[in-house]
Amino acid sequence: MNRPIAITNDSDLTKLRAGDAVEFSGIAYTARDAAHKRFVAALDAGEPLPVELRGAAIYYAGPTPARKGEIIGSCGPTTSARMDDYAPRLLDLGLKIMIGKGKRSPEVLDAIKRNGAVYLIAVGGAAALIKSRITACEEVAYP
């Protein structure tokens, strides 16, 4: 296997091809379907989102509480299809990276292409490995 490709800016996204191994470094928001539903409800109500989505990455995970002395609890990916009703709208707002597991709907694939975004697959069952790479965790919205 080749060394993973590092993503450091938007132009790196255009270099990716299906099957590439990717090393993501930076801020990734964790958000599942309940948070996505709240994002869309806020947008429908004309309210600002609690986080800036332009250029952002969202990891479809719901971390478990951290044990004493740990940064974060288990942090494995959840099924991405749960976000498919909401993802196209968030992609149109500038979301660039989605990380999860499983297939995406045709509508999401069209929005990914339209917006120059990417969908990265995180291996299910690798929560301990993923957790070991997280260096900080902070609640920014929707406890």
In this prediction, residue 129 carries a pLDDT of: 79
Q: What pLDDT score was predicted for residue 54? A: 94
Res 15 pLDDT > 60: yes
* pLDDT confidence tier of residue 3, bands split at 50, 70 and 90: low
- pLDDT score recorded for residue 25: 81
Cα atoms in the Cβ-side hemisphere of radius 13 Å centred on 86: 22
Q: What is the mean pLDDT of residues 21-49?
A: 93
Instruction: List, for residues 106-141, the tens digit of each pLDDT value.
Output: 999 999 999 999 999 988 777 877 888 888 888 888
DSSP state of 109: H
The answer, yes or no, to whether residue 94 has pLDDT greater than 60, is yes
Residue 84 in tokens = 């498919």
Which pLDDT does position 139 carry in this prediction? 85
Please state, in angstroms and as integers, the Cα–Cα distance from residue 92 to each residue in 38, 50, 57, 65, following that order: 17, 17, 14, 32
- Does the pLDDT of residue 2 top 70, yes or no? no
**Using one digit for the tens of pLDDT, what is the confidence trace for 36-84?**
999 999 999 999 999 999 999 999 997 788 889 888 888 889 999 999 9
